[in-house]
Chains A and B, each alone.
Chain A
C-alpha cells in the first residue's frame, strides 16, 4: 500500500511535469517567439484555458504527499524553505499575470505582466528542478527529519544541475507544444527554435539522469534513462519530419521515463538524509496508517479517472491550432 502511494505521487509529479512543463515553456519563450502583441497573445492563449488546471497537479501531488507521507511532506518543504518561497512567489506572479495582462489596454501594463510571466516561468521551472533533485539527492536531515545546517543546503552543484535540467526540458517541451498548437509564422518559429535548442537544452537532463544512475541506479532505472534518451532523440527526429503531434507525444514518453528513473532511483527512500543513511525517510517509515492510505486510495480511485476525463475533454474542446487571425480585438474598459 505504501509503495502504491509512492507510485501515485510519482504519477502526480509526472502529470505536473508533463502539463505545466509546456506552460512554463510557453511563458519562458514569450519574448522569443512572440514578436508582436498579437503573436504574444497567440502564445498565451494556447495555454489560457488549461494552465490553472495543470497547476492543480502540483497542489494535489503536494497534498497527497501530506496525506500519505506526512513525514516526507514536512521534511522536504521545511528543509528547502527559501528556494520554495521563491518558487511560490514565481507561481503567484505568473498566475496573476496570465489573468490580468489582458484586462487593461495599455502597452506598458502588458509589458510589465509579460516580464512577470517570463521571469515567473523561468524561476518556477528552475525551482521545480531544484526541489525534485534536492529530493532525489537528499537533504542533510537529522533523525527527526529536520534540516541540519544552512538554509541554502538545497543549493548544491547537483541540484543546480537538476534546476537547469527541468528548465531545459520545459523550454523544449514548450516549443514543441507551440509548434503543435499554433499556426503560421509562430508555428514555424517554434519548430525552428525547438530544433535549434534541443541538443543543448536536453543535455542537462541527460547528465542529471546519468549522475542519478551512477549514484543510485539499478538495472531497470538504467532502462528508464535510456528510454529518455531514445524518446528525446525520437522527438527531435519527428520534429524534423514536421510530425509535431508525434514529437509532443515522445516528449511525454521522455518525461514519463524521467519520472520513473528518478523515483525508481529514490525508492525505497522517499527523502534520503545526506548525513546518515539510517536517518533517511523511507516509504515504510514516512507513510500514514493503512487506514488513511485505504481512504485515500478510494478517493483517488474515483477522483483520478474523472480528472483525466474532464481535463482530456478540455484539451479536446480547445484542440484547434491558434493563429494571429483568431485573436479577437481587445475590448476592455
Chain B
C-alpha cells in the first residue's frame, strides 16, 4: 500500500488514509454487510423530515474520544463546521457532505443537519469510512500543523506512531465498547496493535507476505490470487469493487459515433468474458450497464436487456446504417472506411489490443493511441477523443450524474451526453430519499444509458485481500477489512 499524505481526514484525498483512520474513528451510520441497507452506528437513531431537508441524528452516549473528549452533538457540529470552512481546504470530506446548509446541536445528544435540497447520496455518504468521523477540536488546536501526524478519534484503535516512509502503528483503545451492531465482539478489539506498512511495489508486498513479514496484503493483483487460494496457509477475502473496472466511452460529438447503430454494433462486437479472462485472470464480472451489482440501485434486469456479444447483429446494424465491407474487410460508407482512434493509458494496453481485434472482426478499424494518464484525462474531458477506456469507483449511483448529466460536459461527462429525459432522472435520483423510489429512478437511468449505448461497459472488478491463517476472523465491511473480531494464533 501507499503511504498516506496525512491522517487529518479533512485534508486527505487518499483512500488509504480513510482505511487507516477508520480504525481511529467511527461513522454516524453504517451499511449492513448482508442487506446493503443503512443502519445506525455512532448515531443510535436517525430521522429524515417529510420534505427531506432535515436529518436529525441521536448521538450514542458513553463514547469518548482518545484524548478524553466525550462524544456529543457539539463535537459533530464542530467537525462538520471545520469541513465546511473553506480555510480548512477539505476535499473529499467536503464533497461527501456537499449540499449541507448548516448543522446544529440543540442539546448534547441531538445533531441536526439542514439541507438546501433533499439529498439521497448524503445518508450513504455518512457511512463512508474515515472521512466523516468526529474529531477533537482540542487536539487539532494543540497539534496545529502537525495534527495530521497526531490524529485523535473515537475508534477501536489509537494512533501510536508514524515512521516516515515505513509504517503507521495503531494500538488498541482499551476503553472501546461501541462497535457496530454486526460485530460478534461488542467490547474492545482483540488485536493489541495494527501496523500498516507502506510497500509500494506489489511483488515486494507479496514477497513480504510469503516471508511472514506481513500478515495481510491489500489490493492483491488478480493474477496472483489463485496461488494463495491453493495454499493452505492463507485465506483470500474478496469483494466486488464499487465501480466499473473497465468501460469504453464513445464521443457522441463525433459524426460517425453519433449514429446509434454504430455504437450498438461496437457493444455487440466486444467479448467481455474473453477480456476478463485475459486481463484480470477471470476474476471479475461482465458489466452490461453503467453501475455494478455492488452499488446501490443496480437493476439486475440490465443483464437481460444489455447488449450481448452478437457479431452478425453488429454487422447487420452497420449495414442498416449504409456501411458495406470493402476488399480490406473494413466497413465503408461513401468511400470512407469505418476507423476510430482508441485513446488509452498504458495500463489498458492489453484490453485495447483485444478490443481492436474484436472490432476488426465486424469490420471496424481501430488505432490505439497510448497516452500519459494526465494528458489522456485532460483530452477526454475536453472531448478531444473518439473512443477511450476508463474505470471509476464510487459508493453511490449519484456518480451517474457526474458521468452523464449535460451540466458535466467538460468534466466527467466525457461522452458529452445531452439527454433531457436523462438529466431529469439524474436530478430526481439525487433528491429522492425513499430507497425503493430511488431504485426505480436509477433503473430507468440504467435503461436509457444502455439503450443509447453511450458506453460499452466491459467488467466490474473484485478487490482481493490475502490473509495469513495465523490471523483469524478478519472480516469484510463495506469493501474494507474489519479487525474487530480478529485474533492472532500464537
Task: Verify that A and B bind, or say they do not.
Answer: no
User: Chain A residues in contact with chain B, CB under 8 A?
Assistant: none
